[in-house]
Amino acid sequence: ELKVEQNPLFLSMQEGKNYTIYCNYSTTSDRLYWYRQDPGKSLESLFVLLSNGAVKQEGRLMASLDTKARLSTLHITAAVHDLSATYFCAVDGGTSYGKLTFGQGTILTVHP
């Protein structure tokens, strides 16, 4: 059974600081996704990582995938308040696209 674990689960940051969220998974996969969820809202796709060594960047967020280590990271650079949200990683471990196993989510709060 595929397990996906994120850490930390709660992250309180000051504006301007850098930090990394980690996503570990238990079985072989080369398809990993990051989503953002604002309170009471739906999930918004941030990054799609489809191969070992994949790196994607959008604004202050950068995601990477190491399939050999079964690890993805979401790096936050110079955090701003607007980044406050819950971030989920999700791994596709099956043969059908979209059968994702989600991590528990990391609740990020950015303080002034």
Binding site for other proteins (CB under 8 A): 4, 31, 33, 41-45, 48, 50, 88, 90, 92, 96-105
For other proteins, the closer of residues 11 and 90 by Cβ is 90
For other proteins, the closer of residues 79 and 100 by Cβ is 100
Helices (H), 2-94: none
Token pair recorded at residue 110? 């950015």
Q: Minimal CA–CA distance to 91: which of 100, 78, 82?
A: 100
CB of 78 to other proteins, least distance (A): 27
For other proteins, the closer of residues 17 and 40 by Cβ is 40
d(CA 99, CA 108): 26
Do β-strands 106-111 and 10-14 pair in parallel, antiparallel, or remain unpaired?
parallel
For other proteins, the closer of residues 43 and 80 by Cβ is 43
CB of 91 to other proteins, least distance (A): 10
CB of 49 to other proteins, least distance (A): 10
Neighbours of 49 (CB within 10 A): 22
